[in-house]
Structure 1
Amino acid sequence: MTSILKLLVATSTISVAALGANPAFAADLGTDAGTSITNNVSVAYNVGGTAQTAETDSDVFVVDRQVNLVITKSDSVNTKVAPNATQQAVTYVVSNQTNDTIDVLLTSEQLGTDDFDVAGTITYYLDDGTTAGVFDAGDTLITYIDNLAEDTSVTVHAVANIPTSVVTGDLADVILIGQAAGHGGSGLPATGLNIQGSAFTDDSGDADDPTLVQNVFTDAAGSGTSDGAADGYHSATDIYEVSAADITVSKTSKILWDPINGTVKPKAIPGAIVEYCIAVANASGGADATGVAISDTIPADLTYYNTLATGPATVPAVIGVVTEGTVTGSTCNADGSGTGAQSGGVVTGDLGTVTSGATETLIFRVIVD
Structure 2
Amino acid sequence: MYTKLKLLSGAAILSIFATPAFAQQETAAGTNINNQATVSFTVGGTNGTATSNTATFVVDKKVNLSVVAVGGPTRVAVGSNDQVTTWTVTNLTNSTQDIRLTADQQNVSIPLLGTDDFNVSNMRIFRDTNNNGQWDAGDAQITYLDELAADASVTVFIVANIPNTPGVKAAIVGLQGTVAAGGSAGSLGADLVATSILTPDSPTTVDVVFADDANLLDQLRDGKHWAFNAYVIDSAVVSVLKTSRVISDPYNLLVNPKAIPGATMEYCLSVSNAGPGIATGMALSDIVPANTTYVPGSIVVGTPGTGTCILLGTSEDDDATGADESDPVGGSFDTGTKTVRGALGSVLPSTTVNVAFRVTIN
With the length of structure 2 as denominator, give the TM-score of the two structures: 0.62
State how far apart, in whole Å, the 2-side matches of 1:129 and 1:358 are: 42
Q: CA deviation at 1:254?
A: 1.5
Aligned in 2, Cα 1:79/1:255: closer, same or farther, shift over 3 Å? same
Q: Which residue of 239, 245, 259 corresponds with 1:268? A: 259
- Is the CA contact (8 Å cut-off) linking 1:323 and 1:339 kept in structure 2? yes
| 2:66 corresponds to 1:70 | yes
Q: CA deviation at 1:352?
A: 1.7
| Superposed CA offset, 1:17-53 (max 9, x none) | xxxxx9921041x3434x68999xxxxxxxxxxxxxx
| Superposed CA offset, 1:179-201 (max 9, x none) | 33344766xxxxxxxx2423335
Q: CA deviation at 1:107?
A: 1.8
Aligned position for 2:11: none
Identity of aligned residues (%): 33
Aligned position for 1:354: 347
Structure 1 counterpart of 2:101, one-letter code: L
Q: After the TM superposition, which residues 281-360 of structure 1 pair with which residues of structure 2 at under 5 Å, given as runs?
A: 281-282=272-273, 288-299=278-289, 301-307=290-296, 318-319=297-298, 322-325=299-302, 330-335=308-313, 337=327, 338-342=330-334, 343-355=336-348, 358-360=351-353
- Is the CA contact (8 Å cut-off) linking 2:64 and 2:212 kept in structure 1? no
> How large is the Cα RMSD of the aligned pairs?
4.8
Structure 2 counterpart of 1:120, one-letter code: S
Which sits farther off after the overlay, 274-283 or 224-233? 224-233
Aligned position for 1:108: 103
State how far apart, in whole Å, the 2-side matches of 1:95 and 1:302 are: 71
Q: Secondary structure at the match of 2:177?
A: strand
Aligned position for 2:179: 180
Q: Secondary structure at the match of 1:360?
A: strand
Structure 2 counterpart of 1:150, one-letter code: A
State how far apart, in whole Å, the 2-side matches of 1:96 and 1:262 are: 80
Q: CA deviation at 1:72?
A: 3.6
State how far apart, in whole Å, the 1-side matches of 2:349 and 2:2 are: 37
| Superposed CA offset, 1:224-253 (max 9, x none) | 348116654332223445666564432111
State how far apart, in whole Å, the 2-side matches of 1:103 and 1:89 are: 24
| Superposed CA offset, 1:99-148 (max 9, x none) | 321222322111234432353333435458978xx657699454232331
State how far apart, in whole Å, the 1-side matches of 2:98 and 2:212 are: 20
Gaps of 5+ in 2: 4-19, 36-53, 109-114, 315-326
- Is the CA contact (8 Å cut-off) linking 1:245 and 1:286 kept in structure 2? yes
Aligned position for 1:117: 118
Aligned in 2, Cα 1:73/1:329: closer, same or farther, shift over 3 Å? closer
State how far apart, in whole Å, the 1-side matches of 2:85 and 2:260 are: 60
Q: CA deviation at 1:278?
A: 1.2
Structure 2 counterpart of 1:333, one-letter code: L
Q: CA deviation at 1:175?
A: 1.3
- Is the CA contact (8 Å cut-off) linking 1:173 and 1:237 kept in structure 2? yes
State how far apart, in whole Å, the 2-side matches of 1:264 and 1:157 are: 67
Structure 2 counterpart of 1:32, one-letter code: A
Aligned in 2, Cα 1:297/1:238: closer, same or farther, shift over 3 Å? same
Which sits farther off after the overlay, 82-91 or 109-118? 82-91
Structure 2 counterpart of 1:216, one-letter code: V
| 2:22 corresponds to 1:24 | yes
Q: CA deviation at 1:289?
A: 3.3
Gaps of 5+ in 1: 7-21, 40-57, 187-194, 308-317
Structure 2 counterpart of 1:107, one-letter code: T
With the length of structure 1 as denominator, give the TM-score of the two structures: 0.61
| 2:212 corresponds to 1:222 | yes
Aligned position for 1:81: 75
- Is the CA contact (8 Å cut-off) linking 2:63 and 2:212 kept in structure 1? no
- Is the CA contact (8 Å cut-off) linking 1:332 and 1:361 kept in structure 2? no
State how far apart, in whole Å, the 2-side matches of 1:112 and 1:325 are: 42
State how far apart, in whole Å, the 1-side matches of 2:331 and 2:301 are: 7
Aligned position for 2:245: 254
State how far apart, in whole Å, the 1-side matches of 2:300 and 2:136 are: 38
Structure 1 counterpart of 2:173, one-letter code: V
